[in-house]
Structure 1
Amino acid sequence: MTGDGGYRPDPGRLLRPFAVAAAGADDAGLDMLSLVVATRPPADADHLLPEREAALSWCTRPRTIVELAARLQLPIRMAKLLVAGMIADGSMRHCRPSVSGAAVGEDVLRAVLEGLRAL
């Protein structure tokens, strides 16, 4: 409010990053190296939730939570909560690799290293 009774909205971002995820949401046991993939393209209503829209657009192939957090410029905890909500509503799924644990660990470490280099 201004002194003359008029309202002037803040031109900056209206919601802080921690307001992106639903209150009381559970991260569904995801960790920062969990692989997730979108199960659908962004819909018309997703433009109202820009972080969801960006996550759906970018996760057309499996991505780690840490990569997604860096891409969306969100804290990892908020990215985990966002993804958990999207898994719950069917917009994303958690990828469970079918190869041996040693090969998965090496692939994930390479992906994280490439992501860090890209920053």
Structure 2
Amino acid sequence: MTGDDAFDADPGRLVRPFAVAVAGADDAGLDMLSLVVATRAPDETDHLRPEHEAALGWCDRPRTIVELAARLQLPLNVVKLLVAGMIADGAMRHCRPAVSGAAVGEDVLRAVLDGLRAL
């Protein structure tokens, strides 16, 4: 690479992950399996950071925090803070998972465990 070619290469992420999160945000009890959904689509008048815009665009249906972290290629804790800030701003909301009518019985769990052991 010559000196001029070095400036043409993709530099990758220019902002450190900790700088993406909202300052002073609390993760509000979110864990990696918490479901979140955007309350609106990203709008060009919002002047959002790229990570916020990507999160809003991808969370058009309920997504887990870990899915969002993988999609944004950011550490899980950073995404938890980013989402908590967006929830506080009203751009996202925390979804409660639907509760199924019947709990999984011990016999089903034992059958699954036996199947895994057989692998």
- Tell me the TM-score normalized by structure 1: 0.70
CA distance in 2, matches of 1:102, 1:34: 20
Indicate the residue corresponding to 2:87 in structure 1.
Answer: 87
**Post-superposition offset of 1:97:** 2.0
Q: 1:74: which partner in 2?
A: 74
* Equivalent AA in structure 1 for residue 23 of structure 2: A
Give, in whole Å, the separation in 2 of the partners of 1:29 and 1:75. Answer: 17
Q: Distance in 1 between matches of 2:96 and 2:43?
A: 26
1:26 maps to what in 2?
26
Within 2, Cα distance between the matches of 1:68 and 1:46? 20
Q: Contact between 1:46 and 1:52, CA under 8 Å: does it hold in 2?
A: no
Question: Gaps (5+ residues) in structure 1?
Answer: 1-10, 104-119
Structure number, greater radius of gyration: 2
1:46 CA drift (Å): 4.5
In the TM superposition, residue 91 of structure 1 has moved relative to its aligned partner by: 0.4
Q: Structure 1, residues 34-85: CA drift from partner, whole Å, max 9, x if none?
A: 0000000001145540000000110001000000000000000000000000
> Which residue does the alignment assign to 1:117?
none
CA distance in structure 1 between the aligned counterparts of 2:23 and 2:48, rounded to whole angstroms: 18
Q: Distance in 2 between matches of 1:45 and 1:17?
A: 24
Long gaps (5+) in structure 2: 1-9, 105-119
Residue matched to 1:52: 52
Which amino acid in the other structure matches residue 24 of structure 2? G
Cα RMSD after superposing both structures: 2.2
Structure 1 counterpart SS, 2:37:
strand
Aligned to 2:117: none
Instruction: Tell me the secondary structure at the aligned position of residue 26 of structure 1.
Output: coil
> TM-score w.r.t. structure 2 length?
0.70
Give secondary structure in 1 for the equivalent of 2:93: strand
1:43 — aligned with what?
A: 43
